[in-house]
Amino acid sequence: MKSLTLKKTTLFVLSIFVVSSLLFVNYTGAECDYEGGKNMFNDPVNCLPAGVPDSLIPDVIDAAVSELLKLAVAISVVALIYGGLYYVSSSGDMQKTENAKKIVKYALLGIFVAGTSFAIIKILDTIFH
């Protein structure tokens, strides 16, 4: 079981490496002036080859990550509400009360992690753009 998890983790890390490597490949367009310091990241409209849309892959990934983090917060809020209702309806049963506390704890942890991730991404985006 551990080797399967290790294989999946290795595959995931390698796929992230390949995708991130592809993000920074310089496209050589005929109208790009690399001697002057222009490349697809600081002059995307003039340096992309014909047929490539003006929105760059990092912009698409940024939008997708933002939407996924919003979804994570929404799911965590729903889990928090569910845990609260489960706690109220436990009627003093210790097993149900403990399960409800775990649900609430992990929902709050999910909100914290998603919020922190969103903040870190926005800070890094501000610094590097």
User: Tens place of pLDDT for every residue, the chain, 129 residues?
Assistant: 456 677 777 777 767 666 655 555 444 444 555 555 555 455 555 565 556 555 566 677 777 888 888 888 889 999 999 999 999 998 888 999 999 999 999 999 989 988 888 888 788 878 876
CA distances 91 to 2, 20, 33, 87, Å, are: 40, 51, 72, 8
Residue (of 105, 62, 59) closest to 86 by Cα position: 105
Please state the pTM of the whole predicted model: 0.54
**Calpha distance 23→57 (Å, rounded):** 7
